[in-house]
Amino acid sequence: MRPDLVGPGFVQVLARTTLVLRHRPRQQLPRGFSRYAVVQVTERFFSHAGPGFHTTGETAILLRMTTGTEETPLTIDELAARAGVTVRTVRFYGSKGLLPPPVIGPRRVGHYGPGHVARLALIEELQQQGMTLAGIERYLRQLPADLTPHDLAIHRAVVASWAPEAVETLARRELERRAGRPLGADDVERLTAMNVVAPGDGDTFRVDAGLLRLGVQLLDVPLSQEAILAAREVLVEHSRAAAHALSQLLRGEVEQRDARDVKTLSAHMQPLVVQALLTTFQRSLREELGEWLTGSGAD
């Protein structure tokens, strides 16, 4: 993982990545939801190399419907549960300046919001990539002060794109702790359909650690499982084609070079190709959104 290669300056370009779900017209959206869905993309191309799981370089998507109302403020206990950490950890991060202070409400109770949840998720991802606390502090200090929860989620998605494949075997209790919420039978079934978990021996599950948080968030998205999986298949098809074409192009350029040089060039080119892919995709999505809103007569 090279966080320095996907730093704040680059991620700012991605901060408004959106995708219109054309099969979900405005009049069919649930009450209280806006007319389009936000899609956050991590650079992982689905390739079913294992039983129900994917390999490094696959694409995972996070669909989040945007609402016109703010989320209910969270207490520190609720924030810790939502993020899957302890209250002590939240307080520690706050003391280090990794989290902004809460809004003090009635009875001097601190209230936290989506920004705190998103920042905790980003911190967790950076830790999983091996960054020290000092490194995380430096990384977060470079971020603009006015980033929205969506912006922070984009940062996390880019960081997660360099995560190696990590399939763990977890007991049900540990799975729910990592998820930050209880998981009913329907929840587990949906996570299984999304290739986030797979049944193991006894009461255990094989869990794709890199996709767990995204999968859990997808459980609350007001879209059918079929729509989510269809969106995934669109990304799978086209990202595989792009990966294959780029691979063939690069092979043609380096086939006469020394094997050591090829390996070095490959390691150098991978982050550049990912950045180019995400930037191009973001711009295409912006164009699609603009055309759709213009065609629908929306304000």
pLDDT tens by residue, 230-265? 887 888 888 889 888 888 888 777 777 777 777 777
Would you say 162 and 128 are in contact if contact means Cβ atoms under 8 Å apart?
Answer: no
CA 241 to chain centre: 22
**Parallel, antiparallel, or unpaired: how do β-strands 204-208 and 33-42 relate?**
unpaired
Spatial distance between the Cα atoms of 222 and 36, rounded to a whole number of angstroms: 12
Tokens of 59: 């694409």
Tokens of 215: 């999968």
Q: Hey, what amino acid is at 2?
A: R
Q: How many residues does the chain have?
A: 299
Give the pLDDT score at 296. Answer: 62
Three-class DSSP category at 205: strand
Spatial distance between the Cα atoms of 46 and 233, rounded to a whole number of angstroms: 9
Look at residues 75, 103, 92 and name the one whose alpha carbon lies nearest to residue 127: 92
pTM: 0.48
Residues 6 or more apart whose CB falls under 8 angstroms from that of 279 comprise 13, 14
Spatial distance between the Cα atoms of 74 and 295, rounded to a whole number of angstroms: 39
Q: Hey, what amino acid is at 258?
A: D
Spatial distance between the Cα atoms of 299 and 288, rounded to a whole number of angstroms: 16
Q: What is the pLDDT along the chain (299 residues), one digit of tens a residue?
A: 334 333 333 333 333 333 333 333 333 333 333 333 333 333 333 333 333 333 333 333 333 333 333 568 999 999 998 888 899 999 999 999 999 999 998 888 899 999 999 999 899 888 877 788 888 888 888 888 888 887 787 777 767 665 556 788 999 999 998 888 899 999 999 899 888 999 998 889 999 887 887 788 888 888 888 888 888 788 888 888 988 888 888 877 777 777 777 777 777 777 677 777 877 887 888 788 788 777 765 55
Spatial distance between the Cα atoms of 115 and 125, rounded to a whole number of angstroms: 15
Give the pLDDT score at 166. Answer: 73
pLDDT in tens, 92-130: 999 999 999 999 988 888 999 999 999 998 998 888 777
Spatial distance between the Cα atoms of 47 and 261, rounded to a whole number of angstroms: 27
Spatial distance between the Cα atoms of 208 and 175, rounded to a whole number of angstroms: 11
Tokens of 291: 């055309």
Spatial distance between the Cα atoms of 110 and 120, rounded to a whole number of angstroms: 16
